[in-house]
Structure 1
Amino acid sequence: MTAELEARIELAQAVERGASVLSSRVVEAFLNVPRHPFVPAFYRRDGAKYVPTRGHNDAWLRAVYADDVLVTEVGGVHVEDAPDCGVTGVATSSSTAPGLMAEMLDALDVRPADRVWEIGTGTGYNAALLCHLAGAATVTTVDRTARLVDAAQGRLHEVGFAPAVLRADGAGTPPAGGPFDRIIATCAVRRVPTAWLEQCVTGGVIVAPIGNALGGGAVVHLTKLPDGGGGGGGGGDGPIH
């Protein structure tokens, strides 16, 4: 067994242990979809600085497959563009802890062939998990940042998935492929946009973090009602990538 496969198994087991009830399909997704191609580098905090961690050594592999948030952008500087000495500022993008990702994916309840719209491609890891759950042909993921879209598309292809990866504002014009059975936001929003409800089929599900800061807020889980509104509740915290 390779070190990478062993690390992936340990992550899937940690994700399963960390949730009170979790679909076996979600656990299988974490077992079958590798995380390391999507996070070839990440920042670690060193005093007032964020210092990039790169390389494919054992310490890097253990960190990538830990159930932890991995910061990938600080002050708009993506980690792969950062100098070795590090940068200062506020974390602006991350690959969220897999345990939280699993809980949100479990709430989304993705079925094979579901039409899925993801708002916030980020690293592409969550999109890969969605492809495993639904099938890549019916997954559409969007992000406003060209740098992230291009990188995520390449990494998704690297692991064998070819969803629609588009540069777009998730609060703007919806992408082709709708209406959607499942809609998930991987970045915090202040409220669920009307366009998301309009693009969700009756009985479909929307899962999104509500807040205004990276890593904070409540997660809402809405079901599209026949009258066009959304019913459900919320709980938990944090955005995912």
Structure 2
Amino acid sequence: MADLPMYFPSMTDDRCEELADEITASGDLRSPEWRRAVLDTPRHEFLRGGFFRREDGGGRTGWEPVRPGDEEWLPGCYRNESLVTQIAGTVVPTDLDGRIYRLPTSSSTLPGLVVRMLEELNVRDGMRVLEIGTGSGYSTALLCHRLGDETVTSVEVDEEISGRARVALGTVGHHPDLVVGDGLEGHAANAPYDRLIATCGVLDIPAAWPAQVRPGGQILATVGGWLYSSELAGLTVGEDGTATGRLLGGQVSFMLARPQTPPPLGVLPDLGDGPERESSVPWDVMDDWTARFVVQLAAPAAQRFGLSLPEGELNVLLDVESGSWAALRRDKGRWIVREGGPEPLWRQVEDHIARWRADGSPGLDRFLITVAPGRRTITWAARP
């Protein structure tokens, strides 16, 4: 008797329909064109190399491989979840048995977010799209289904990831222009584009992106920073090349583009140096997503971490490049801060948070963004 296939087409058709229904119910999938794309695009074909399952224990986060043939692989492919596909820049699920304790570097984004972003693009037939971050190729396939292969260019920095995506896309019948390169530079050879969409996070909108999008065209990208508060930004490119728009809300998070990942902390400064004072802003302001975004605007090159000392927990904000730092500790209900380096990091944080609160603590959907050559500005509109 011949071996049975691992799955049947009708089974995956049903799973695609269940996934489309779930994304529709969430409000992310709104149009019949994108629903048809989800129904006709089998996500499991883009996860043939497997994915990693998160395992937390002992205060550490580890990752265990899930591969085709494992009982949970096919159902997992159709969950509305992000699935990690690469660890530490090179490790894929077929490389190991057991658990790995390193940081994820590539994933298949949760389908609901992919579709929400595609809906936000407001595409029309015949439009040319540049996608930054091919990843697994699933979002690329949805774009090809909606607009046609010849209109889609997708850039991926990792040659192996791009190669796997090319195979998966070919399997489902799509052959867009796949480019291996630095997505922060866009791809000028196929410009101008009507739309640009980034499936990685960025610290700033690179100058190359508005320059490669035609006036009236749109850019959709997640803007964030090293404090890991981020948001989806929708911008329209003007005749002068300036891109303006707003943050769209929803606490969208992507892995940062690899060239923009934070530098190692290196040797720490003497955090006991300098005078102390009481802070007007508590460290736990970082627990609020929007407030942390405001802190990020105040200290855009800073990273945060904690140190466990005999006298208690010390919370640190450090700008590695400039050497500026702030260290906060709790003392009898008060927050005490000490700062060092050329810039008063925490004083800048206090000023930004005070202005934001005076304006009614507006949500990120009231933040405005302007990107011009050599300049990026993010402001907020006060609550009425």
Category of TM-score, reference length = shorter chain? over 0.9
Is it true that 1:178 corresponds to 2:186 in the alignment?
A: no
Runs of 4+ in 1 over 3 A off after TM superposition: 212-216
> Out of 10, 17, 21, which is 1:2 matched to?
10
Aligned to 1:239: 254
State the Cα deviation string for residues 197-237 of structure 1 (Å, max 9, x = none).
Answer: 01101111110011246985100011112232112211231
Q: In 2 relative to 1, CA 12–215 (structure 1 residues): closer, same or farther, beyond 3 Å?
A: farther
Aligned to 1:25: 33
Q: In 2 relative to 1, CA 20–44 (structure 1 residues): closer, same or farther, beyond 3 Å?
A: closer
Aligned to 1:227: 240
Q: Which moved more, 1:1-10 or 1:62-71?
A: 1-10
Q: How many residues align?
A: 240
CA distance in structure 2 between the partners assigned to 1:174 and 1:56 by the alignment: 38
Q: Which amino acid aligns with 2:254?
A: P
CA distance in structure 1 between the partners assigned to 2:14 and 2:214 by the alignment: 40
Q: Which moved more, 1:169-178 or 1:65-74?
A: 169-178
Aligned to 1:36: 44
Structure of greater Rg: 2
Aligned to 1:199: 212
Aligned to 2:172: 159
Q: Which amino acid aligns with 2:75?
A: R
Deviation at 1:112, TM superposition (A): 2.2
Aligned to 2:203: 190
Is it true that 1:50 corresponds to 2:63 in the alignment?
A: yes
TM-score with structure 1 setting the length: 0.92
Identity %: 37
CA distance in structure 2 between the partners assigned to 1:162 and 1:20 by the alignment: 26
Structure of higher RCO (CA pairs closer than 8 Å, 6+ residues apart) = 1
CA distance in structure 1 between the partners assigned to 2:71 and 2:218 by the alignment: 39
Q: Which moved more, 1:169-178 or 1:109-118?
A: 169-178
Cα RMSD for the two superposed structures: 2.0
Q: Secondary structure at the match of 1:5?
A: helix
Q: Which amino acid aligns with 1:115?
A: R
Structure 1's unaligned 5+ residue stretches are: none
Aligned to 1:73: 86
TM-score with structure 2 setting the length: 0.59
Aligned to 1:12: 20
2:130·2:195 contact (CA, 8 Å) conserved in 1? yes
